[in-house]
Structure 1
Amino acid sequence: MMPFLARVLSQPRYPTYYRDMSAVNRGGAPLIGPTLPRLSRLGPDEVAQMMDEGAAVVDVRVGRDYDGGHIPGSYSVGIDGPVSAWVGWLIARGRPLILAGGTDAQHAEAHRQLLRIGFDTIAGALDGEHEWVAGHVPGAIHIYVPDVPHRASEIPHDAPVAVHCASGYRAGIAASLLEQAGLKRIIHVNGEYSDWDRLHLAQSSLSP
């Protein structure tokens, strides 16, 4: 009896979602059919708004990629480990979830794992915005280059506007489109975003 009690008392902690799994198991998980439900594709602006409203972003890339740049406030739960266990432990059941980073196949695997533990409030996945996930200037407005002529009115015309992308190439195209739209004080960040990021971090480290 004593060895049994010792084993019971020495059990490791278990994820918090275990508490309500008995009810989920008794009731049965929702039937999803032979294929997974299709995830909605979300743009950066939609994700930002949903985060403001309480949604949690789960970045499924491996840790070293997450460390290279990620959405502020997101959770790093790599697909190379038990996604469902850690999401179930850290994020309350019922909270809207957004998958970010990684590939469509990785999003599908994370989706499958989460459905198995009854986490069915997945609002969607960030729509291929790998550069945006990897890093962007705080407060930046994300606009696809082809959309610049139609969304130029969203950008202040009376203030300096810096335009950047991951490499600098598309930023140059966007800068020319903004000029055509009537903006005058345009700064083309002609280099990789990582260059700006390193300079920004260096400046921040000198701030009081």
Structure 2
Amino acid sequence: MIIEQIYTGCLAQGAYYIESNGEVAIIDPLREVQPYVDKATANGGKIKYIFETHFHADFVSGHVTLAEKTGAPIVFGPNANPTFEAHIAIDGEVFQLGEITITCLHTPGHTMESSCYLLKDKDGKDYALFSGDTLFLGDVGRPDLAQKAADMTQEQLAGTLFDSLRTKVMTLADDVIVYPAHGAGSACGKNLSKETVGSIGDQKATNYALRADMTREEFISEVTDGLLPPPAYFPMNVKLNKEGYGNVEDIIREAKAFDAKTFELVANETEALILDVRHQDDFEKGHIPKSIFIGIDGQFAPWVGALILDSKQEILLVTPEGREEETIKRLARVGYDNTLGYLKGGFEAWKNAGLEYDTVTSVTAQVLEEKIEEKVPVFDVRKPGEYASEHILDVPSTPLDFLNEHFAEFPKEEDFYLHCAGGYRSMIAASILKARGYHNVINVLGGFAAIRNTGIKTTNYVCPSTLK
């Protein structure tokens, strides 16, 4: 038996490759599926099942393309209603895979079709639980995403999740391995662990939502407390996962390599957004006017989904050399399929063509310390939880996730300063503001990590009205 977790840090997502006696199952595959096919072929195996734990909201799964490539059936749990052909399992249905079995455990609550898959070894012993978004390490799936589809309140969904956990998950033996769909960084829960593999026993001992003495009412209160609004792209991804999508390989093939002059022409003739995915330091030193920065080496896909509100938006890319295809692929993972092409030769080709470019003004935290005595406007674009933990005295919370709601607060005439935790998110915010005409924005290098090393006064007092 082979179990391999294929973890994608950008999405904080775990897909799973399971093999026994030449038969293979894939659980929650990424959209680009050829690596799974290649792995099975290299092992002399054949993909027999494609299991989906639920209709994912935070990424486009590869189930449809993988089924087309392999002929393997897509398996969902009860209540799933995809528009394409799929096997809708009944609760407790058993699937034979070589010498092992995989049992569908219907665990509604995160969504109403949510299911876990229990792997039993060749001796029939419970071995591992692929828990999807029902159970994470340190947390459980948020119960507010499926309210509209289920015609239920988040409290009703949370109560349903409580029942699922107590009757289907917590009854398993402590030594059963837990393989969740996500880890820290995912917006599908509040308090996910950085660990990506655990056990039922560990979770019973450490996960707040699995306390043995927890009442249903306590569970509902704690699980729903402090939930931030979900990213704007979540409903679009659910729709794609339910209705299908194009092959990512076709999207890559259709994207064109433009020389600098043609790139400029296409940008001027279309409504395409110019997305620059280089390192923030490179963007700071020079970028195409009105381009938006979201670095490929940060939490790229989730920030694209949160900040580019129209998934059908046409996109032109500026990437590091050799990372063009990777960028197109990672955009497609969250449903952004309209990449027209990329700047051949990267930003250097733009400069060498003598075309106009812009820069971002940045200062050190030490400079900010001097300026802050003059009561200059400063904005903190970190998440509300980071802000609540510690922030500069009298500086408001303007989370990057909700930047569009704060434009009226930024001054148009005087200089103002942005910071995040380390510099990645503040550069994203600066690029968006500059594209909107706020050329008086100044980025603070090193973010709050650098600010802590100065004499700038900080506090952890939070007025509730300052948080989203």
TM-score higher than 0.5 here? yes
Aligned counterparts of 2:259 and 2:229: Cα–Cα separation in 1: 37
1:99 aligns with 2:299: no
Q: What is the Cα deviation at residue 73 of structure 1?
A: 0.8
Match of 1:60 in 2: 277
Q: Find the counterpart in structure 2 of residue 114 from structure 1.
A: 331
* 1:68–1:134 Cα contact (<8 Å) kept: no
Q: Which amino acid aligns with 2:318?
A: A
Structure 1 runs of 4+ off > 6 angstroms? none
Partner SS state of residue 253, structure 2: coil
Aligned residue among 66, 73, 95 for 2:290: 73
Cα separation, partners in 2 of 1:110 and 1:82, compared to 1, 3 Å: farther
- Unaligned ranges ≥5, structure 1: 140-208
Q: Deviations over 1:100-131 (max 9, x none)?
A: 03122x22222111112221100011011432
Output the amino acid matched with 2:278.
R
Q: What is the CA distance between 1:35 and its match in structure 2?
A: 9.9
**AA partner of residue 26 (structure 1):** K
Whether the aligned pair in 1 keeps the contact of 2:321 and 2:346 (CA below 8 Å) is no
1:7 to 223, 230, 233: 223
Q: Paired residues, what number? A: 138
Query: What amino acid does structure 2 have at the position aligned with 1:107?
Result: E
Asked if 1:30 is matched to 2:237, the reply is no
Tell me by how many angstroms 1:55 deviates: 0.4
Q: Per-residue displacement from partner, 1:124-150 (whole Å, max 9, x unpaired)? A: 1101143245695639xxxxxxxxxxx
TM-score relative to the length of structure 1: 0.57
Task: List aligned pairs for 1:1-208, cutoff 5 A.
Answer: 1-33=217-249, 36-37=252-253, 39-52=255-268, 53-91=270-308, 92-104=310-322, 106-133=323-350, 138=356
Instruction: Name the structure 1 match of 2:117.
Output: none
Q: Distance in 2 between matches of 1:134 and 1:66?
A: 13
Q: Deviations over 1:10-63 (max 9, x none)?
A: 123432111211111101232245994363101223322333321011111111
User: Which one has the largest radius of gyration?
Assistant: 2
More strand per residue: 1 or 2? Answer: 2
Q: Secondary structure at the match of 1:21?
A: helix
Name the SS of the counterpart of 2:304 in structure 1: helix
Cα distance between partner residues in 2 of 1:33 and 1:55: 21
User: Identity across aligned pairs (percent)?
Assistant: 24
Q: Flag structure 2 segments of 5+ consecutive residues without an equivalent.
A: 1-216, 358-468
Measured at CA, do residues 125 and 138 of structure 1 come closer, stay the same or move farther in structure 2, by a change above 3 Å? closer
- What's the Cα RMSD here? 2.6
Cα distance in 1, alignment partners of residues 334 and 232 from structure 2: 12
Q: What is the CA–CA distance in structure 2 between the aligned matches of 1:120 and 1:69, rounded to whole Å?
A: 27
**Match of 1:16, SS?**
coil
